[in-house]
Amino acid sequence: MAVKYYSPEGLARLRKELHEMKTKGRPAMSKQLAEAREKGDLSENAEYDAAKEAQGLLEMKIAKLEEELGNARLLDPSKMDTSKVMILSKVKVRNLKFNKVFNYQIVSQSEANLKEGKISFSSPIAGGLIGHKVGDKVEITVPAGKMHFEILEITM
């Protein structure tokens, strides 16, 4: 698995999710298996089979999260350059066609959430903004056509 970069909040969210799976998910799964086991012959017990399958899926998710955390790298906002747009940058841009201002934060794919203004560094808009400075006018090709932005502010 490739190295992925996370903000402090994104890394904390991953750790919390893994902790909950281990401390709440595993015990709940054990309880389901015990209840199903009590219902008789395991060779004909569909409830037991379903519980075993759910347990396998949970363990697979835990392993995947552990691997992701093992390859995670924390980006320290205090050491980032705010002279140009990069991952973790908070960018205020003006859509030149509609004269509307938008605020975005460039984040990893797993942290992206458009409702919160967090866009993935691999998205067309973020990709078009990365490397540019305040005052730059940028033309970005998106699936719906071309968009024109002016970068108004870059912060962390």
Q: May I ask the CATH class of domain 4-74?
A: mainly alpha
pTM (2 d.p.): 0.65
Q: Which CATH code fits 77-155? A: 3.10.50.30
| Structure tokens belonging to residue 67 | 């691997």
Mean confidence (pLDDT) of the chain: 88
Q: Which is nearest to 150 in space by CA: 140, 131, 132, 135? A: 135
Q: With cut-offs at 50, 70 and 90, classify the pLDDT of residue 22.
A: very high
Q: Model confidence over 74-116: pLDDT tens digits?
A: 877 777 778 899 888 999 999 999 999 999 999 888 888 999 9
Q: Model confidence over 24-33: pLDDT tens digits?
A: 999 999 898 8
Break the chain into its structural domains and give their ranges.
Answer: 4-74, 77-155
Q: Kindly provide the b/e burial profile for residues 52-68, where b requires at least 16 CB atoms within 10 angstroms of the residue's own CB.
A: beebeebeeebeebeeb
